[in-house]
Amino acid sequence: MDPQTTGEVLKNLLTVAWLLPLLGFVAEIYWLRWSHRLSKSAALCAVACIGIGFLCSFSALMVWGNATGWAALAPADHGDGDHHGTGAHADNAPADAEAAMAGHAEDANPHHADSKADAAHSPKAFSGTFYELARFGSLRLSLDWYIDSLTLVMFTMVTFIATCIHCFAIGFMKDELTEEYEDHQVHTRRGHFTRPGRFHQFFAYMSLFCFSMLGLVLAGNIFQVFIFWELVGICSYLLIGFYIERQSASDAANKAFIMNRVGDFGFLIGLMILWTWCGTFQFADSQETHQAGLFTMVRGHDGKLDVSDDGSQVFLRDASGHRAERDGQPSSISYLLLIAAGCGIFAGCIGKSAQFPLQTWLPDAMEGPTPVSALVHSATMVAAGVYLAGRFYPMFTPEVLLVIAYIGCITLFVAATIAIVATDIKRVLAYSTISQLGYMMLAIGVAGWGAGLFHLVTHAFFKSLMFLCSGSVIAGCHHVQEMPRMGGLRRKMPITAYTMLVGVIAIAGLAIPVVNIGFSGFYSKDAIVASALAYSELNPVHILLFITPLVTAGITAFYMFRLWFMTFAGEPRDQHVYDHCHESPRVMTVPLIALSVLAAGCAWGWGFGGNGEDGPLYKLIAYSETVAASEPYASVGPAKITLPSHPQVHAVHGQAGLLALLAAFAGSAVAYVMYGARAIRAEDIRRQFSGVYDFLVDKWRFDVLYDAMFVRPV
């Protein structure tokens, strides 16, 4: 199959996968408007749409693999060649997708040098235009598509997880299948508040949510990303506020919407800077107009910034990779403006992925139904911020990457410490999500591009699993969410308990030493810690970027095993809850089993276990790397920031992995002593450190600060 035909097939398959959830949304709205009875049939339609979308996405991945000769899965080369952490172009091959569609292979990642012969005529990425909306001279607004291995992995992951969550929701939301739903958390003068069930409305919102996220992933320009970015925000508002009659749900939806708009203000500033100085929003080069896309403009074909001698300007490139000219003079953008544009785009990521200082909305989003929490925290909304940071990586200067790294570093530690004292099972998972998103941002900031996106995918599987398990517990315990009222539930809910244990082991990063056999989180977190160690060795002043995630690895293991022991181990602490607890029906447990399999093994290499970076998932993600890690050079500031190469990261991988594993075992052991064996009473520790405990219970008092600074004055 020639490249152009392959591109068309991929576009058609992913377009179908993208539009099917929209069809499900329309069907649900039609059912809601014209049907006079509530039925599971409408939900089955939504499940079928997203399920077929998964099949289309997986088929597209197979088509892409066959077209490239599965070059992405070629044996890794960890030698000392010119192999940089973000995919140096070893042979200066073009990085743009449209040149590739014309028949030029992009050999941007030397991991796959041995497979060049097999994929000599196969592009690494495809791009094109769905529809041109408007043209203003040389400025053009259009609906574009961009497909590479990262797009395909994201499509497959999102649709698979969404299918599992939709199936689970059929059982979890069954109480909405009634003409009079009684909300026990809303009280009126006549008793509990009653309203018509919203079963169809729930699945309509879920379908629109998936459509928005898939549109964001498929987008071929940054303006189009922004449109779907806002659609994702609207859908999250509707789903978080699903129980809108509850004051807490209404406040949580408003808080999420407003805090995301704060980040989006920065996003718009970044967009306007790029529009003004680059004159395009497109990622890839335009084959029709021969205009360079953003990535080629800023990074050229060699993946390097073309900085002026005084460091004040970055020269822009044309589609051929040479310096572009405007009115006979070299076209350029101020280095400071490029930093501002990168920080602006990242501000949007801060809001969407709940990073410091805009992290406080995500725990409150637990007011939505648990299937919503599972989707928001794994495959859609919060994943969108990390995905955009990864996709837009070529536009980030080392200074912007340093900001990203420190924001991620602060976030992962702050959220992990709050999770230590949280008692609501869903809120523990919410803070763990914020912390893990911090890990991903840290990885991107220290040039661990592949590691960050690798963790995005592995985290999506084990976090969706754990949220659905928490939903199973909540449904089985008749909507009790406080862990101090639980205990011993593994005897009543064995499937839920042991699938949750798979997720806990995965996020804790535990493994069998020496043989390197662990669940998915072990491999992806190892890759992040290794990137952080390599970065800190090259930039010793930033040693905290290694120490903090290492310490937090132990904290993560502690609070996750604390959750499992408090919920499933020991003796019942509330006999009434225990007596009425029961295992969930198969429509809810089968998705748990399916997700637990991928949470355990999605990162494995060939054979059982092995090195995660030699496994197919990591290789597929890393194959879409398009930018060389910068050489040491003086930036606008006085400090020189050196980004580590792949050989440098690989050289410290064993050391970093061992330290991270020791931290995880230490955290797990402390959790067992305190909550499993109960050799140390948690109450005694709490009394001894009451000041610290109260500070963490108050969530570092961010809400108090924001209330005093912004809410009350307004």
| 399 Cβ neighbours under 8 A, 6+ residues apart | 339, 635, 636, 637, 641
DSSP category for residue 36: S
Identify whether the C-beta of residue 673 lies closer than 8 Å to the C-beta of residue 565: no
Identify whether the C-beta of residue 362 lies closer than 8 Å to the C-beta of residue 703: no
Q: Which residues of 520-551 are buried (b: 16+ CB within 10 A; e: fewer)?
A: bbbbbbbbbbbbbbbbbebbeebeebbebbbe
Q: With a cut of 50, which residues of the chain have pLDDT below it?
A: 80-120, 629-634, 636
Give me the pLDDT at residue 188, please.
83
Give me the pLDDT at residue 606, please.
67
Token readout for 548 is: 């903090």
Single-letter code of the amino acid located at 462: F
Interatomic CA distance for residues 523 and 657, integer angstroms = 9
Nearest alpha-carbon partner for 565 in 504, 521, 520: 504
Nearest alpha-carbon partner for 651 in 530, 561, 546: 530
Give the ranges where 569-652 is alpha helix by DSSP (H): 575-580, 586-601, 616-622, 646-651
Give me the pLDDT at residue 100, please.
38
The DSSP bridge partners found for residue 640 are 634
Interatomic CA distance for residues 467 and 161, integer angstroms = 12
Position of tokens 């929209």?
22
Interatomic CA distance for residues 344 and 275, integer angstroms = 13
Interatomic CA distance for residues 437 and 420, integer angstroms = 17
Give me the pLDDT at residue 393, please.
93
Give me the pLDDT at residue 604, please.
87
Interatomic CA distance for residues 563 and 504, integer angstroms = 9
In terms of phi and psi (left: phi > 0; alpha: psi -120 to 50; beta: otherwise), the region of 142 is beta
Give me the pLDDT at residue 77, please.
58
In terms of phi and psi (left: phi > 0; alpha: psi -120 to 50; beta: otherwise), the region of 156 is alpha
In terms of phi and psi (left: phi > 0; alpha: psi -120 to 50; beta: otherwise), the region of 216 is alpha
Interatomic CA distance for residues 217 and 377, integer angstroms = 16
